[in-house]
Amino acid sequence: MERQQALPNPPSALSRRLSVVAAREHGVGPEQLRWIGTDPDLFEAFYREHVEDLQRFVARRVGNREQAADLTAEIFLAAIESAHRYRPRRGAPKAWLYGIARVLVANDRRRRGRERAGETGGKSFRGSALLDPEDAARIDARIDAAAQSRRLYEAMDCLSDTERAVLELVALDELSVAEAAAAVGVRSGTARVRLHRARRRLRAELEATANQPTPRKEDRS
């Protein structure tokens, strides 16, 4: 079990200002990420750097504005709460954030499944309550743009969880194989094997689906 390391002493006022300027210009680096939970300016830079890509990540997986906003807020909240445990050897900040996002989206899918089955579940953070009309329109546009990706996402049910995770991150979210490996928590070589296997199985599944006859109208009624 990995020992918990304490955060180093906070930076001086000057080094903090320089760090924030660098983060706004070049992105929050591995050496800065652990401070986003205690430094609002660094978190703002981190949020602005990743929010659009993260909203697209969520929109590819859900088709509801409120659900997408809630999940995006939950992911950033979880990042704040766990930033002090971040270790650069686990991957770049982007891969680390997508690892958190992948887990929370999966948890949300299971939670909603339980709710549909009549089970009670805990309440999630309501990020949708903070949406203004401009934010809502932007999320709706991303959900509409991601409709094709969601269809592909649904077709991935034929894959194992590990194959699916790597393929989603590379094919849908445009992460590199190394970034996807870090987000999933496997070696790059393992991720490449899973990606190749997933692509082959998904191609076969899509071809089989395309060859199936389309049901007649009276059959669907």
pLDDT computed for residue 126 by the predictor: 58
Q: How far apart (Å, rounded) are the C-alpha atoms in residues 79 and 62? A: 20
What count of other Cβ atoms lies within 10 Å of the Cβ of residue 107?
A: 13
Tens-level pLDDT at each residue, the chain (221 residues)? 445 555 556 666 777 777 888 888 888 999 889 999 999 999 999 999 999 999 989 988 887 888 888 999 999 999 999 999 998 887 899 999 999 999 999 888 888 777 766 655 555 555 555 556 676 677 777 777 666 666 777 778 888 888 988 998 998 888 999 999 999 999 999 999 999 999 998 888 877 766 665 545 455 44
Verdict on whether the full-model pTM lies above 0.75:
no
Give the pLDDT confidence of 130-144 residue by residue, as tens digits.
556 676 677 777 777
pLDDT computed for residue 4 by the predictor: 52
Q: Which domains does the chain have, with CATH numbers?
A: 22-116+130-145 (1.10.1740.10), 148-211 (1.10.10.10)
What count of other Cβ atoms lies within 10 Å of the Cβ of residue 202?
A: 19
Alpha helices by DSSP H, listed for 117-187, are 133-145, 147-155, 161-167, 177-184
Q: Please count the residues of the chain.
A: 221
| Residues 6 or more apart whose Cβ sits within 8 Å of residue 8 | none
Q: How far apart (Å, rounded) are the C-alpha atoms in residues 159 and 202? A: 7
| DSSP SS3 for 185 | coil
What is the Cα 45 distance to its own chain's centre? 18
pLDDT computed for residue 1 by the predictor: 47
| DSSP SS3 for 28 | coil
What is the Cα 112 distance to its own chain's centre? 18
pLDDT computed for residue 131 by the predictor: 59
